[in-house]
A and B are shown apart, each in its own frame.
Chain A
């Protein structure tokens, strides 16, 4: 086969996927850069060039900065509950010696992750429901009805409440990654340590955690990217309320566009998140490569 025919075949086989990426990801990205330089309400026939005005407005908007700090809180909760919970439970599951039980437990805790964020949001909204909700019903049943709250209706509790729902959905995903990494660790290490008299906690602390170095650092970044997202769960549970108390940056951008008609600011906010996400991912990868060379 001549090489021109092969090149033509390669082009034909790549073309559909390249076209889709170009039209549905690169064009919107370029569009976003363009829109972020204009003042526009989404319907007017003319746009006014604003250069970096939108970025300046967004980054000096207290609501955006608050949304950003909520995103950081959200990330911390995600790390503590979903990543931490996934790691600990993965370590526990890996100690189970019955293969079938391991598979069963892993399969069960992963179930929330295969559900739509809308389904997760609706289930948990009902769970937190002030009157028919399972949570207040449970508190009532064990005599702690004083602790019952309108969880999603309170500005102080709504963000943690939505964060718990999101962690519930996500932790099985981190668990599967951790479990795969743990099972790749040489069992001889554990046996040798056990012979030397190391208990389960010592083995977790001194063998499992260090050998998961790569998986853990990867998951910390994944969790940050997921925190920047977080739109679906929040929107299906609270739409950013009450009183904007669950407004993450993605929600801020969406509202800025479709409730306030400020397309320029919405695009600038969205692109700011995109830049942060790409910088963190790339920076992290370079740091990890350098750390790997140093070792």
Chain B
């Protein structure tokens, strides 16, 4: 028994070392956000001797991150709300209302998931330009909602499908129509699905880089990922401020992940093992 325990302890230590090593770049970036260039190089993994909050002031004001942050936040929140609003009714249709007949349409949604967006980046640009949706935060938001539709519908459909049919029947006996049943009986039960879809679309929108690169070019419309890469090119002399920008870009993702980790992992596994 003792050798088994010792082996188990060694295993825990080994995994802890690997997990710790994975976090090194993140920890390094966070510490460096509070240092100046000399300290970043001299004491790379040491705690900052003096917490230089002025790095954050630098990116926030002269680095324009206040603009980027607001753009990213507004887009991410709007995209999350719209994705949930669009995918829950569709998921309910495939899960409960029209199960047999609509299979063809449902598989069309799934097929879209295999199409890599990168492959049609260039035509997407010209298509959106024709609709006057380039260099527009609305255009970026709408295409992000569209990109989140397949996975969102998939998660919502699986969730509604697994809710008991008796709920629908007893509501129908009480005289409720299809819409009332969806709106007042089923949707209030769908909080886990709403959360999973919500976390996915929020992170997707907050983190989106290549579509923002493709579609936004005015300085005042840029989102955080775009602004961060640009800042890296321009302010190579002030690394502390760059790291502060990295931290600002990471904070919302990490907060959402930590608070809603269970919903997120559940949605992820469901999506991957489809």
Interface residues of A (CB under 8 A from B): 1, 5-6, 9-10, 12-14, 16-18, 20-21, 23-25, 27-29, 31-32, 34-35, 42, 89, 92-93, 95-98, 101, 104-105, 107-112, 114-119, 121-127, 131-132, 134, 137-138, 168, 172-173, 176-177, 180-181, 200, 215, 218, 222, 225, 228-229, 231-232, 235-236, 250, 253-254, 256-258, 263, 266-267, 270-271, 273-274, 277-278, 281-282
Contact = CB atoms under 8 A, between A and B. Distances in A.
Interface residues of B, number: 94
B167 interface: no
B110 to A, nearest CB: 11
Interface stretch (B8-16, B48-56, B59-67, B188-196): B8-16
Given A25-B146, A96-B8, A116 B122 contact: no
B198 interface: no
Contact of B273 (A116, A180, A254): A180
Interface in B137-162: 142-143, 145-147, 149-150, 153
Question: Taking each of B12, B249, B253, which has the highest tally of chain A beta carbons within 10 Å of its own beta carbon?
Answer: B12
B31 to A, nearest CB: 11
6 contacts: A6-B97, A17-B149, A21-B146, A176-B268, A253-B119, A278-B115
Contacts of B272: 177, 218, 222
**Which secondary structure dominates chain A's binding surface?**
helix
Given A104-B19, A124-B25, 8 more contacts: A21-B146, A28-B127, A32-B124, A101-B15, A253-B118, A253-B122, A277-B116, A282-B114
B8 A119 contact: no
B207 to A, nearest CB: 4
Nearest to B130: A31
Contacts of B14: 92
A278 B268 contact: no
Contact of A27 (B23, B127, B257): B127
Contact of A119 (B92, B109, B246): B246
Interface of B: 7-8, 11-12, 14-16, 18-20, 22-26, 28-29, 32, 37, 40-41, 44-45, 85-87, 89-90, 92-93, 97-98, 102, 105, 109, 112, 114-128, 131, 142-143, 145-147, 149-150, 153, 177-179, 182, 203, 206-210, 213, 224-226, 228-229, 232, 239, 242-243, 246, 249-250, 253-254, 256-257, 261, 264-265, 268-269, 272-273
Contact of A89 (B15, B26, B97): B15
B116 A225 contact: yes
Given A20-B149, A109-B18, A114-B253, A122 B116 contact: no
A33 to B, nearest CB: 8
Contact of A24 (B143, B210, B250): B143
A11 B137 CA distance: 29
A118 B229 contact: yes
A199 B125 CA distance: 56
A1 B177 contact: yes
Nearest to B42: A137
Contacts of A125: 232
Contacts of A232: 209-210
A104 to B, nearest CB: 8
B185 to A, nearest CB: 15
